[in-house]
């Protein structure tokens, strides 16, 4: 619940409203009227509010906080009118099962209020004239015009084409950061993005939307804050979720373009098949150490699809990723910027150079080439409604892997051993698994301890579990989501 009021705030009343026997944490933020600002003595504050818009946007912020941080309830009251020293100007209370969620949600709500709500503050000083001031890091159209923001690029592009565009970006990592930053800065009007990961310290060298103080926080929350601070004129919505067969259509429907910034083949093929089914263009990129590629897929054209090259989804365990093989931040940034550039050109002119040919770039020697995209005769995905058949038939082979994986929440109460295989080579891992099977060979299946392997994202571990299952070892599992889920 979000309220604007002139009367003083009653803390006790608000806390009673939030009481919940299911909750384990209540975090409260209070913003007070202080007696100084930037070396000047303050006598009082005055708030003016565009009330109708503030209420609507305030409710959205609380809904986002509840969704992103698993809250039971959130409440915010903001004052308007003239306030005396020591009075509470804004009060936020969030209730959650766990304190970390409550802490992060409280920070998110106050940051978003400063950024998004049409609330203006006038400071009355003892020895100076009263002035309207803006909160730190707060930039809105009250202080500058939208046309000024796009003045330079408007000389060469039709800005309204970007303003009307609706884009989905999947992945907010090494590729996603430059893509999201460039699209937001260019003024793409409606941007949705999906990522289920939290920030880790090893992300930051190639993911400049995040910083060391963001470690442990959800990427969608940090990225959304930074991007809206960069451009307050766009609509941006982050989704803390995995893209799966169950939700992929929901994310894609209604979009003019989908941009694949993921780092695994399973999701890339899932997005590809769904885009062909729904007739939505897709721009995909990938990088391995110093080599990158960018390609645009347009379902209605005769330039083929990903399944023209790979009728069956390749196993992710057969390719390298940045966690296992390393990557230079500037390299992944360069490919992400190329992907963003292709996306903007597509939104402006309905096509781009990678719709007809895949672009390959070697960043070590700056050699490059373009290979014409082709349509394979008889490709089911390219046929009319073929994309729909591919998805419905489980074209990305997700179905067979469901039984190989186990969620972290499912391990509670089970006799299990978690095994981190990120730094274990294949030979040592094979020896370890063999010793586990030998030691438990006399036990019944019901009594055996479950061996749960995990790597960075659950790709290599699932590959190993699949091999072990083929050998008849049913008690070996892969942790769904890998280390990211811990």
Task: Verify that 345 and 459 share a domain, yes or no.
Answer: no
Task: Verify that 152 and 251 share a domain, yes or no.
Answer: yes
Q: Does some domain include residue 33? A: yes
Tokens for 56, please give them: 């609507």
The predicted pLDDT at position 115 comes to 83
Q: Does some domain include residue 385? A: yes
For residue 113, the domain's CATH number is 3.90.1170.40
Task: Verify that 73 and 220 share a domain, yes or no.
Answer: no
Q: Does some domain include residue 141? A: no
User: How far apart are the C-alpha atoms of 138 and 410, rounded to whole Å?
Assistant: 43
Task: Verify that 280 and 266 share a domain, yes or no.
Answer: yes
| Three-state SS sequence of 314-376 | CCHHHCCCHHHHCCCHHHHHHHHHHHHHHHHHHHHHCCCHHHCEEEEEECCCCEEEEEECCCC
Task: Verify that 244 and 255 share a domain, yes or no.
Answer: yes
Task: Verify that 90 and 190 share a domain, yes or no.
Answer: no
The predicted pLDDT at position 385 comes to 40
Task: Verify that 321 and 371 share a domain, yes or no.
Answer: yes
The predicted pLDDT at position 384 comes to 52
The predicted pLDDT at position 393 comes to 36
Residues 6+ apart with CB under 8 A from 417: 436, 449, 450, 451, 452
Task: Verify that 347 and 405 share a domain, yes or no.
Answer: no
Q: What is the pTM of this model?
A: 0.60
Task: Verify that 337 and 418 share a domain, yes or no.
Answer: no
Q: Which residues does the chain have with pLDDT short of 70?
A: 134-144, 315-326, 384-402, 413, 437-448, 456-457, 459, 484-486
Residue-wise over 463-482: b if at least 16 C-beta within 10 A, else e? bbbbebeeeebebbbbbbbb
Say if CB 431 and CB 459 are below 8 A apart. Answer: no
Q: Does some domain include residue 139? A: no
Among the candidates 73, 103, 133, a domain finishes at: 133
Q: Does some domain include residue 178? A: yes
Among the candidates 359, 377, 397, a domain finishes at: 397
Report the candidate in 386, 226, 357, 349 with the shortest Cα–Cα distance to residue 295: 357
The predicted pLDDT at position 325 comes to 63
For the stretch 112-167, pLDDT in tens is 998 888 888 888 988 888 887 754 434 443 456 788 889 999 889 999 999 999 99
- Residue 322 is part of which domain span? 148-397
Q: Does some domain include residue 142? A: no
For residue 410, the domain's CATH number is 3.40.250.10
User: How far apart are the C-alpha atoms of 104 and 215, rounded to whole Å?
Assistant: 12
The predicted pLDDT at position 344 comes to 96
The predicted pLDDT at position 181 comes to 96
Task: Verify that 66 and 21 share a domain, yes or no.
Answer: yes
Query: What's the number of domains the chain is made of?
Result: 3
């Amino acid at each position: 619940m979000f309220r604007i009021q002139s009367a003083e705030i009653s803390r006790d009343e608000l806390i009673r409203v939030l009481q919940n026997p299911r909750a384990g944490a209540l975090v409260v933020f209070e913003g007070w009227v202080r007696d100084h600002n930037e070396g000047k003595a303050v006598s009082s504050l005055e708030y003016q509010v565009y009330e109708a818009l503030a209420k609507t946007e305030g409710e959205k912020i609380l809904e986002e906080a509840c969704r992103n941080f698993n809250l039971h309830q959130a409440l915010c009251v903001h004052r308007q009118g003239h306030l005396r020293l020591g009075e509470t100007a804004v009060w936020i209370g969030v209730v959650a099962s766990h304190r970390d969620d409550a802490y992060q949600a409280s920070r998110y709500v106050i940051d978003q209020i400063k950024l998004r709500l049409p609330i203006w503050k006038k400071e009355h000083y003892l020895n100076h004239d009263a002035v309207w001031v803006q909160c730190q890091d707060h930039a809105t159209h009250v202080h500058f015009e939208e046309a000024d923001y796009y003045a330079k690029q408007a000389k060469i592009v039709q800005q309204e084409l970007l303003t009307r565009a609706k884009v989905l970006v999947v992945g907010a990592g090494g590729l996603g950061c430059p893509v999201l930053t460039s699209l937001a800065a260019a003024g793409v009007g409606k941007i949705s993005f999906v990522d289920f990961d939290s920030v880790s310290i090893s992300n930051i060298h190639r993911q400049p939307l995040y910083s060391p103080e963001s470690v442990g926080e959800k990427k969608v929350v940090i990225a959304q804050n930074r991007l809206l601070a960069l451009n307050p004129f766009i609509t941006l919505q982050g989704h803390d979720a995995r893209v799966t067969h169950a939700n992929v259509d929901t994310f894609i429907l209604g979009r003019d373009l989908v941009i694949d910034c993921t780092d695994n083949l399973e999701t890339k093929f899932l997005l590809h098949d769904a885009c062909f089914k729904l007739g939505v263009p897709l721009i995909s990129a990938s990088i391995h150490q110093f080599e990158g590629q960018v390609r645009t897929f347009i379902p209605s054209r005769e330039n083929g699809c990903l399944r023209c090259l790979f009728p069956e989804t390749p196993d992710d365990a057969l390719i390298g990723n940045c966690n296992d093989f390393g990557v230079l931040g500037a390299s992944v940034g360069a490919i992400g910027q190329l992907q963003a550039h292709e996306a903007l050109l597509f939104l402006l002119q309905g096509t781009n150079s990678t719709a007809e040919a895949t672009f390959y770039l070697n960043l070590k020697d700056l050699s490059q080439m373009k290979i014409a995209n082709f349509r394979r005769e008889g490709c089911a995905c390219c046929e009319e409604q073929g994309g729909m058949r591919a998805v419905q038939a489980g074209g990305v082979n997700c179905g067979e892997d469901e039984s190989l994986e186990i969620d972290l929440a499912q391990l509670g109460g089970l006799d299990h051993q978690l095994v981190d295989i990120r730094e274990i080579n294949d030979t040592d891992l094979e020896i370890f698994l063999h010793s586990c099977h030998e030691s438990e060979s006399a036990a019944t299946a019901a009594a055996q301890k479950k061996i749960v392997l995990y790597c960075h994202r659950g790709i290599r571990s699932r590959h190993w579990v699949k091999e072990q299952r083929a050998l008849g070892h049913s008690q070996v599992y892969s942790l769904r989501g890998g280390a990211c889920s811990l």
